[in-house]
Amino acid sequence: VITDVLTGASSRRALESALPRMLYRSKRRGTDLSLLVVDMDHFKEVNDQYGRQDRVLQSFAGIVSDTIRSEDLLVRLGGDEFLIATETDADGAMRIARDIVSAFGKAEPRVTLSCGIASAVDGDSPENVVKKLMRPCTGRNPKAVIESSCTIKVNNRRNLQRLIILVLPNTPGAL
């Protein structure tokens, strides 16, 4: 299956075939490739309180699809965790994350998001780039955190080596 039936996002299988091509294309063009992992915080509790929230997942996928470029890739990793592969540097990926958090906060104010970003370094394999996002970290690097009063929580499982942890407001107009 290449597309997640519920959200319309690509599947992990699509990521496995697309990521090497995207890395090759970004190297050929001389651009960066960044990956964003976005996780809905405490989504199980939202499901328990409000019932199954497929609509929230669909809303998120729609917002992301409207935010990213057609050549970017949205992947549902499973449950409430998504990955976005985009041909941009870490600053560009951060702008995308801010746009997504802002738009999603307006649409679904009761659900907050945690975001992690890793950018490919020249010569990185697809596996290396994904490992940058998924490897457990040993602590929090305060220089990598954007200071803000907000409801977004930092996901401490994310790798901090060459990773920017986002702490973003989840309220309209707070950016």
Question: Can you give the pLDDT at residue 125?
Answer: 78
**Residue 15 to residue 31: CA distance in whole angstroms:** 19
Q: Exactly one of 48, 80, 99, 124 is catalytic; which is it?
A: 80
What residue ranges of the chain have pLDDT lower than 70?
1, 132-175
Cβ(61)–Cβ(3) under 8 Å?
Answer: no
Contact yes or no for 74/65 (Cβ under 8 A):
yes
Concerning whether 80 is annotated as a catalytic residue, the answer is yes
- Beta-bridged to residue 36, according to DSSP, are 84, 117
Q: What is the pLDDT of residue 50?
A: 77
pLDDT for 61: 96
For helices 54-67 and 90-107, angle between their N-to-C axes, nearest 10 degrees: 140
Confidence at residue 1, expressed as pLDDT on a 0 to 100 scale? 59
The span from the CA of 168 to the CA of 40, in Å, is 13
So what's the pLDDT on residue 108? Answer: 87
Residue 153 — φ and ψ, nearest 5°?
Answer: -105, 145
